[in-house]
Amino acid sequence: MNHLTEADILEFDRLDGDRQATLGSHLSACARCREALAAHRDLLAVLGEWQIPNPPEQSAVIRARVAAVSRANGSGWRGWLRVAAAIVIAAGAGYAGGIASRPRPAQAATPEEVSASLHLDDLDGGTSDELAALFENPPEPGSGEEGSR
Amino acid sequence: MESQRDVDCLCLTDASDVNPPDAALVQWLACGRQEVMGELLRRHHPRVWRLAYRLTGNADAADDLAQEAFVRLYTSAGRYRPTAALFTLLHRIVVNLVIDQRRGRKPVLRLTDLKADPPAREEMESPESHERSRRVQLAVQALPERQRAAVVLHRYESLSYREIAEILETTEAAVESLVMRGYAQLRESLADLRPM
């Protein structure tokens, strides 16, 4: 097997087990690659000696800045533009929704169509013309022509 | 009174989630719900601050960068798409702020004096460890900015080449090259130090 590349060495400790095992079999037989890997691990360890302060508590100041930005964005012309845009969009959506949900006008049925749909010809006691006429001139309540319950 | 951000809020996520993912928090932030900033800060501020400190070596600059990063997260929350982890976005903001500042663009921060702070002496065990820490800090600060960013993200943030590539907005091959050259320079400048 060829020697480990620089890229192999830099990433060696992050490689998956299979890849590491493959390279490991070479490392066990190659002093040059072992030294190169050891040197890189030493460098990483030295870099780890850089000690830095603990992060300060900044929550309050950052939240205050965010609130200030929010107020600024909401009060300037951009804010008014956003309001106007939102209104236009809302109005457009409402108009479109109104058209879509508006009831469509029903086409008036003719007396013949009503009669046919009710199968009035099948009923006893009168012709379809006579029954159809009842729809147009219903009897007065109490005239004795209503059906008994 | 309802804020403007609430007016055009499109977020429909479940606000009752006791441990919402970052993406949900950012979505709520985009809806103007500033109260979620506290949770985002709790989760990400320490890491963002440490990255800013490692990149600048200066605590005041790190303070400013961390503040600015979260303000920018707020102002750009509506454009956030959870295709990448939130820390990737925050790291990218910090790295770009540092690079822009050093190149003289967008002078929004107080980064005019970027002399490295002395390491926190009270945390050191001995003058020797203090000196070694200072040596490492100066060596890292001496790297060209993109090499420094790549090495810091690789060594101190333990990120993969792919993650670093997302942050630096470049290819994995380019990151590998940056990391290699950065470590090579550090190996040279710290050649006399052996691990304690």
Q: CA A10, A16, A18, A23: dihedral to nearest 10 degrees?
A: 10
Reply yes or no on whether the pLDDT at B143 is more than 90: yes
| Global pTM value | 0.70
Say how far apart CA A69 and CA A135 lie, in whole Å.
71
Mean pLDDT in residue range B110-139: 72
* Residue among B29, B28, B33, B32 at smallest CA distance from B12: B28
pLDDT for the residue B102: 76
CB contact under 8 A, A55 and B140: no
CB contact under 8 A, B70 and A51: no
Q: Is the ipTM of this complex over 0.85?
A: no
CB contact under 8 A, A86 and B37: no
Residue B71: which H helix or E strand, with range?
Answer: helix B59-75
Reply yes or no on whether the pLDDT at B1 is more than 60: no
In this structure, are residues B186 and B140 in contact, taking their beta carbons and an 8 Å threshold?
A: yes
Dig out the tokens for B108 from the structure: 């929004």
CB contact under 8 A, A70 and B3: yes
Say how far apart CA B186 and CA A72 lie, in whole Å.
45
Say how far apart CA B102 and CA B61 lie, in whole Å.
12
- In one-letter notation, the amino acid at residue B114 is L
Say how far apart CA B124 and CA B136 lie, in whole Å.
14
* Residue among B16, B176, B18, B153 at smallest CA distance from B85: B153
| B123 vs A contacts (CB less than 8 Å) | 51, 53
In this structure, are residues B37 and B70 in contact, taking their beta carbons and an 8 Å threshold?
A: yes
Per-residue pLDDT reduced to its tens digit, B39-93 = 999 999 999 999 999 999 999 999 999 999 999 999 989 888 888 899 999 999 9
B155–A contact, CB cutoff 8 A: yes
The tokens 């108009």 sit on which residue? A95
Where does residue A140 rank: exposed (0-12), middle (13-18), buried (19+ CB within 10 A)? exposed
Closest by Cβ to B70, choosing from A10, A62, A86: A62
Q: CA B94, B157, A57, A63: dihedral to nearest 10 degrees?
A: 40
Say how far apart CA A95 and CA A80 lie, in whole Å.
22
| A49 vs B contacts (CB less than 8 Å) | 129, 132-133, 136, 195-196
CB contact under 8 A, A65 and B67: yes
User: Mind listing the pLDDT tens digit of every residue in chain A (149 residues)?
Assistant: 689 999 999 999 999 888 899 999 999 999 999 999 999 999 999 999 999 999 999 999 999 999 998 888 765 445 555 545 655 665 666 555 554 544 444 455 555 554 455 554 444 444 445 444 444 555 555 444 444 33
Mean pLDDT of chain B: 85
Min CA distance, A99 vs chain B (Å)?
23
Mutate to test the interface with A, among B6, B7, B9, B159 (most CBs of A within 10 A): B7
- Chains A, B: CB contacts within 8 A come to 126
